[in-house]
Structure 1
């Protein structure tokens, strides 16, 4: 009989304002040190500002932004015969959404603007127009996967 502890999957509650699972995941990725209310304020402020600037629906806007950044492939390193190979493989929708959200937030933190709200708004607008750092990150991974397409038959 196995004595290994079984972990229950954490159920994420939809966000308060819009009732969307996607928005609640975004808020959880923004959150630092368990301060969810601050993360919610930042997210809702930026969403409202972007909706006013671009005159679009908030949910459709975030969907478009995330679809621009979502990677198709993930690259993992594998050592075969003393050489390290970058092996590309397709990833599922949930994992690609996770990468997209994390890249947007990380690249927003790197921007040279005052306050995270302004950085986040700038990054979201740039991703909407396909000229942000997160889009470049996605393109670089796509380029690496195209170069190493020959190694895709190796299993990880």
Structure 2
């Protein structure tokens, strides 16, 4: 059982490194990692707050009269639940195909091409970050955490981008050639 935990920790660390690579601007790696840490802490806080809220409590109020702006986690490191949510969000938005355009006899056609897992994961993380940047909100940390939560629930811009790519791939007649054709008798 210890191996599984180590594997998950390494996988989560790899996801964090990919987020860092995409978020870095002008060589400021500390800023990028701080954005990711804060967004994971926000996910953890929202997860704990939603867990504490019962079905009879109102959504806008904090439970037990606590101030909602007060952070729930005391350490800098986010807990394992936020990494599970992050992994689920990436898994939900990872595409299995990508659309490449080919020019054939003067016309341009979109052709679906299967993706390997690493490239699909990288593409999913880029979509999540792009969707977070397009959101209207106060900070990138809040927008990123909200987009990760939405992607883990199979909603949000990044998840819909994946659905759109898969619809385009299904419409293409070249994607049908690997499927079996039924014979009419």
Quickly name the TM-score band, shorter chain normalised.
0.7 to 0.9
Q: Do the aligned partners of 1:73 and 1:91 also contact (CA within 8 Å) in 2?
A: yes
| Runs of at least 5 residues in structure 2 that lack an aligned partner in the other structure | 1-10, 49-79, 178-185
Q: CA RMSD in A?
A: 1.7
Q: What is the TM-score with the length of structure 1 in the denominator?
A: 0.80
Following superposition of structure 1 onto structure 2, how do residues 114-153 of structure 1 map, counting pairs within 5 Å?
A: 114-148=138-172, 150-152=173-175
Q: Report what 1:25 is aligned to.
A: 18
Q: Report what 1:80 is aligned to.
A: 104
Q: Report what 1:109 is aligned to.
A: 133
Following superposition of structure 1 onto structure 2, how do residues 51-70 of structure 1 map, counting pairs within 5 Å?
A: 51-55=44-48, 57-70=81-94
Deviations 1:44-66 (A, max 9, x none): 11112212322462322211010
3-state secondary structure, aligned to 1:88: strand
Structure with higher Rg: it is 2
| Runs of at least 5 residues in structure 1 that lack an aligned partner in the other structure | 1-17
Q: Which runs of 4+ in 1 moved over 3 A?
A: none
Q: What is the TM-score with the length of structure 2 in the denominator?
A: 0.68
